Amino acid sequence: MQALTDQELQGFSRLMADAAGIHLPASKKALVSSRLARRLQALGHTSYTQYLEYLRRDASERQQAVDLLTTNETYFFREPRHFAYLAEHIVPAADASRPLRVWSAACSSGEEPYSVAMVLAERMGSRPWEIVASDISTRMLQLARAGVYPMERAQRVPPAYLKAYCLRGVGAQQGRLAVQSWLRERVRFESVNLNGAWPELGRFDLIWLRNVMIYFDAPTKRSLVARLTQSLRPGGHLFIGHSESLGGMEGELQAVQPAVYRRRAGAAT
């Protein structure tokens, strides 16, 4: 099989930009080559150019390529200060007359929305809540719906939560954990391309979109922040990754602590 050329990398970069708003710089050349090599071999292609031509004809294979080239690094209770803010500030102020609605907008394999669900199950009492979780990767959504993970992913889960909301694997499943089925059922998973048309999801009190916008260029990021803002209720919160910044794109959003923004309560709806 021929090595990936700079021109072919540009082709994959254009494909990812069109499909998911993600840009692949030259520094990602080795990553692209290694992640796609097996697909080329499985399909009998001898060059990345052949594979690019195939992707342009086959929508199902394009989704496979997007899945392979999307970074999905996650674990339970990642960036724990966000979960502390949820428990200590957002939950106590929640309007008890309606469900607290949360969107995990790039949920990967599900650890983030299930972590949120554990906090809400413990802290909300009888008050209603809903979680929508979405991702562009069909492979990740399949894993998320199953809710079964290696134990090392749960190192930051509080022991009380592990006991209340997870099952430890035995026998052939030893070394793995499963999220309790009743908690899994509280999370609704959807396939959503953040840079495409969105299904009707409604308004949210809290949106999590962490460690994703670092892959977008400025115009894509600006457009996405504006759309996310409109999906927040006035007074609702947007959580981004601690390595990220909105950098002058705040609009109706005000920073309330690092990586946490609040839509102004008086914002137009």
Residues serving a catalytic function are: 35, 135
Residue ranges of alpha helices (H) inside the chain are 6-20, 29-43, 48-57, 59-69, 80-85, 111-123, 138-146, 159-165, 181-184, 218-230
Tell me which residue of 167, 240, 227, 162 sits closest to 196, measured CA to CA. Answer: 227
Tell me which residue of 35, 39, 18 sits closest to 71, measured CA to CA. Answer: 35
Helix (H) or strand (E) holding 234: strand 232-239
User: Position 189: which residue type?
Assistant: F
CA gyration radius for the chain?
Answer: 20
Tell me which residue of 126, 135, 134 sits closest to 100, measured CA to CA. Answer: 126
Query: Which two three-digit tokens encode residue 52?
Result: 């690019």
Cβ 116 vs Cβ 172: under 8 Å: no
Phi, psi of 179 (to 5 degrees): -70, 135
